[in-house]
Amino acid sequence: MSLQEAIQKFRGQFRGAVHEPGDAGYEEARKVYNAMIDRKPRLIAECTDVADVIAAVRMAKANDLPVSVRCGGHNAAGLGVCDDGIVIDLARINYVRVDPSSRTVQVGGGCKWRDVDHAAHVFGLAVPSGIISSTGVAGLTLGGGIGHLARKYGLTIDNLLSVDMVLADGSFVVANTEENPDLFWAIRGGGGNFGIVTSFLFEGQPVHTVCAGPMLWNLEDAADVMKWYREFITQAPEEMNGFVAMMTVPPGAPFPVELHFRKMCAIVWCYQGSMEQANAILEPIRSYRRPAFEFFAPMPFPVLQSMFDPIYPAGLQWYWKSDFFKDLSDAAIQKHLEHASTLPTWQSTMHLYPVNGKVNRMSETDTAFAYRDAVWSGVIVGVDPDPANRERITSWARAYYDALHPFGAGGAYVNFMMEEGGDRIRATYRGNYDRLAAVKAKYDPNNFFRVNQNIRPATSGDASM
Ligand SMILES: Cc1cc2nc3c(=O)[nH]c(=O)nc-3n(C[C@H](O)[C@H](O)[C@H](O)COP(=O)(O)OP(=O)(O)OC[C@H]3O[C@@H](n4cnc5c(N)ncnc54)[C@H](O)[C@@H]3O)c2cc1C
């Protein structure tokens, strides 16, 4: 049977939409969040249920088509889309079911975080995730998941109870601590290497209203603020989260006009408690270096989760580099200041997210996420709408990274990486890499799922087998 005939047959078995080059919906359907990525798949299969996912896997296998799996399409390296293969898109599998009695949240494999935030909030629950609500649940979770609740409740994977998956051979499995525990270990940080998650079961955390928002300081104060912050964030109550941003003030509300486009240092806080308690905890920094502006107030958690969405719509040019850090030395702070003063465009930024507290209380081998001893996950992001600025934002991010990398812990968070090669992936998984390669050999021996931060299946000659 020719590929064209196979696609015709597949269309008959598949309930969702199928797009091929030349179809009306194809150009829109092949886009991902990062407009730098321009890949042309042979087929895009928008699945509606598990049966569709199984049909798409079998179709790809039978026809030897490369496979990429897409949830939110946010991956900056564009790993949700491939050239000349099949995109298995789960975005239509976007149900959320909250069970308030067991405090669990069942989430379809194609949901965005805003779907979860919305559905869980009415029950006074939240699942720890990231800081932009249009990000996909699947990609973020499978890489780890770092966000505003990390110090108190850990990474997203630390709140994951069970998954439903379709494997490379088209079979369906459940993975949790009881069933297929090796697979469950691997998917908590190992990305999309092991199969397609069609459903996640999370523990919901009791988070409703938080006191949150940014404080901004002029760059002249940034060194003092960062020196204060590095001590503060390692000792602060875990209910208090705060990430540092080197940023340009957006040209809009709530920022005062005189600050628009000014390069500044920010800390974005999220406190789970009363405003009175938050103010007491933050009094030392307010009296030490008074913020030039702050927008810190009680708000429903989903409001915080979507606060930065308007700054980062889909369709921008996006390039980033990342490292984990165990400390923030005076010399590193100096490098931050040098590169923050040359932020190339107003949407470009650098974020240092704390990954201590609960994240550090898991051991390096409890899940595939290996940097349980890091204090921060840093990311340097070059962003701009204009493709003409691609080189400018890329070279700025690389130069900033080159300056900071010597201060780093060695590896980076997989979800903040471009396609950076096998050595970088090994550095990220450290001692867990060989165990991951063995799990990969068991569940995906032919590396069917390879459009990802790829873990190569161990072979019988490897010491780990
Ligand atoms: C604006 C922005 C903000 C971000 N903020 C944060 C943050 O605060 N915290 C954080 O931790 N990360 C953050 N990230 C990084 C984010 O976690 C990654 O980009 C992640 O890959 C996005 O997931 P996605 O589902 O949207 O990606 P997609 O591009 O859809 O998929 C990425 C990869 O995930 C895998 N995958 C997708 N769906 C499935 C599935 N159902 N089953 C198996 N594998 C699948 C595939 O291997 C695919 O290659 C941010 C990214 C952006 C662009």
Are the beta carbons of 245 and 213 closer than 8 angstroms? no
Question: Listing from the earlier edge strand, what are the strands of the sheet with 160-166?
Answer: 96-99, 104-108, 196-203, 160-166, 172-176
CA of 81 to the centre of ligand 1 (A): 12
pLDDT of 465 reads 44
Closest CA to 234 of 352, 353, 357: 357
pLDDT in tens, 295-351: 999 999 999 999 999 999 999 999 999 999 999 999 999 999 999 999 999 999 999
Protein residues with CB under 6 Å of any ligand 1 atom? 32-33, 68-76, 79-80, 90, 109, 130-132, 135-136, 138-140, 142-143, 145-147, 191-192, 196-197, 312, 415, 451-452
Cis ω for the linkage preceding 254 (within 30 of 0): yes
pLDDT of 45 reads 98
d(CA 220, CA 215): 15
Q: Which two tokens stand for residue 366?
A: 């409890």
Sign of CA dihedral 349, 244, 356, 202: negative
d(CA 87, CA 67): 6
pLDDT of 460 reads 72
Q: Is it the case that residue 87 has pLDDT exceeding 90? A: yes
CA of 75 to the centre of ligand 1 (A): 5
Over range 25-36, report the average pLDDT: 98
pLDDT of 462 reads 67
Q: pTM score, two decimals?
A: 0.97
d(CA 176, CA 160): 9
Over range 170-178, report the average pLDDT: 98
Over range 404-411, report the average pLDDT: 98
Over range 59-73, report the average pLDDT: 98
What is the pLDDT of the chain when averaged over all its residues?
Answer: 97
Are the beta carbons of 333 and 231 closer than 8 angstroms? no
pLDDT in tens, 107-127: 999 999 999 999 999 999 999
How far apart, in Å, do the first and last CA atoms of the chain sit? Answer: 38
pLDDT above 90 as % of the chain: 98
Shortest-distance atom of ligand 1 to CA 109: 41
Shortest-distance atom of ligand 1 to CA 69: 46
Top mutation candidate among 90, 116, 135 for ligand 1, by most atoms within 8 Å of CB: 135
CA of 412 to the centre of ligand 1 (A): 15
Closest residue by Cα to atom 39, ligand 1, is: 138
Top mutation candidate among 70, 146, 149, 308 for ligand 1, by most atoms within 8 Å of CB: 70
Top mutation candidate among 33, 50, 52, 75 for ligand 1, by most atoms within 8 Å of CB: 75
Closest residue by Cα to atom 28, ligand 1, is: 73
* pLDDT confidence band for 463 (50 / 70 / 90): low
Strand 43-46 to strand 86-89: parallel, antiparallel, or no bridges (unpaired)?
Answer: parallel
CA of 71 to the centre of ligand 1 (A): 7
89 bridge partner residues: 46, 70
CA of 76 to the centre of ligand 1 (A): 8
Are the beta carbons of 69 and 27 closer than 8 angstroms? no
Q: Look at residue 282 and give its three-state secondary structure.
A: helix
Q: Look at residue 99 and give its three-state secondary structure.
A: strand
The dihedrals phi and psi of 430, each to the nearest 5 degrees, come to 45, -130
Q: Is it the case that residue 281 has pLDDT exceeding 60? A: yes
d(CA 40, CA 22): 11
CA of 435 to the centre of ligand 1 (A): 23
CA of 416 to the centre of ligand 1 (A): 9
CA of 119 to the centre of ligand 1 (A): 20
Over range 378-386, report the average pLDDT: 98
Are the beta carbons of 108 and 16 closer than 8 angstroms? no
